[in-house]
């Protein structure tokens, strides 16, 4: 296969405690550490391993977001990606819009395989990969925990409620990755320096055919209610009484 396209998203780092803005218009992002969405980082790691095994020639990463997203793309280049594309857009984007914009990149790049995380940790939508597969009219395998490439086919193992399911799909295809697929590599300083010389193309969202106007309006964002403290009981009878008082038993 000639090329793997990996889609990544800039999100608040998973180690950061999320804070809601005082006006409840969203979450605080100013001065907050941002990172590659963990599931997307796993997708990139798998694409790099496929290339290192000799089953791909080039790994290209693409992201949609503000100009600051170049930082995450540079991290992806430092991990080993060959080239990066940023679709610059400052507003919020819903999964359907993301998939439509990515489909234009797919049409231009003509990759043999498209990889992305199964979901983003900021909205947990888990929709973009499936929508993109439909728009591109290509097979898909979601929530992959193991991937192997054999010529023009991919074998994907995915976890389901009943156990493990193994799929064989024709390439080109879309694969979305789960946590158990791999552990992303550590980026070293020399790799970060090399990444600065790699190509990062910036495309303004207005240059694409996709309409980036949103059909979803966020009314307000509120934090979850604080967790109630536990209650110690001495025996089963006290437990039953406590559950009845909370309306959990009749």
- How far is it, in rounded angstroms, from Cα 161 to Cα 164? 8
Q: Give the model's confidence band at 215: pLDDT under 50 very low, under 70 low, under 90 confident, else very high.
A: confident
The whole-model pTM stands at: 0.86
- 8 A C-beta contact, residue 40 and residue 75: no
- 8 A C-beta contact, residue 13 and residue 35: yes
Sign of CA dihedral 146, 93, 79, 53: positive
Does the pLDDT of residue 250 top 80, yes or no?
no
State the helix-helix crossing angle for 70-79 and 38-52, rounded to 10 degrees. 30
Does the pLDDT of residue 87 top 80, yes or no?
yes
Residues 59-80 have pLDDT tens digits of 999 999 999 999 999 999 999 9
CATH architecture of the domain 3-222 equals 3-Layer(aba) Sandwich (3.40)
Mean of all residue pLDDT scores within the chain: 93
Across the strands, what pairs with 86? 63, 202
Phi, psi of 120 (to 5 degrees): -100, 145
Does the pLDDT of residue 128 top 90, yes or no?
yes
Does the pLDDT of residue 108 top 90, yes or no?
yes
- Give the DSSP letter of residue 129: H
Q: Where are the domains of the chain?
A: 3-222
Q: Give the model's confidence band at 203: pLDDT under 50 very low, under 70 low, under 90 confident, else very high.
A: very high
């Amino acid at each position: 296969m000639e090329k793997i396209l990996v889609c990544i998203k800039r999100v608040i780092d998973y180690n950061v405690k999320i804070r809601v803005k005082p006006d409840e218009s969203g979450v605080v992002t100013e001065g907050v550490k941002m990172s590659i969405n963990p599931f997307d980082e796993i997708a990139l790691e798998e694409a790099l391993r496929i290339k290192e095994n000799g089953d791909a020639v080039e790994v290209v990463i693409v992201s949609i977001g503000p100009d600051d997203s170049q930082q995450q793309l540079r991290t992806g280049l430092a991990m080993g990606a060959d080239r990066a594309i940023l679709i610059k857009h400052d507003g919020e984007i819903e999964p359907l819009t993301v998939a439509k914009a990515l489909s234009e990149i797919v049409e231009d790049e003509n990759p043999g395989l498209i990889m992305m995380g199964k979901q983003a940790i900021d909205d947990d939508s888990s929709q973009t990969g499936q929508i993109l597969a439909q728009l591109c009219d290509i097979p898909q395998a979601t929530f992959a925990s193991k991937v192997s490439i054999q010529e023009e086919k991919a074998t994907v193992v995915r976890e389901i409620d009943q156990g493990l399911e193994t799929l064989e799909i024709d390439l080109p295809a879309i694969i979305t990755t789960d946590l158990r697929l791999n552990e992303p590599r550590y980026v070293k300083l020399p790799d970060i320096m090399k990444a600065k010389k790699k190509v990062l193309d910036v495309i303004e969202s207005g240059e694409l055919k996709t309409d980036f106007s949103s059909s979803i309006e966020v009314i307000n964002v509120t934090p979850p209610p604080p967790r109630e403290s536990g209650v110690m009981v001495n025996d089963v009878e006290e437990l039953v009484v406590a559950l009845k008082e909370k309306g959990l038993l009749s």
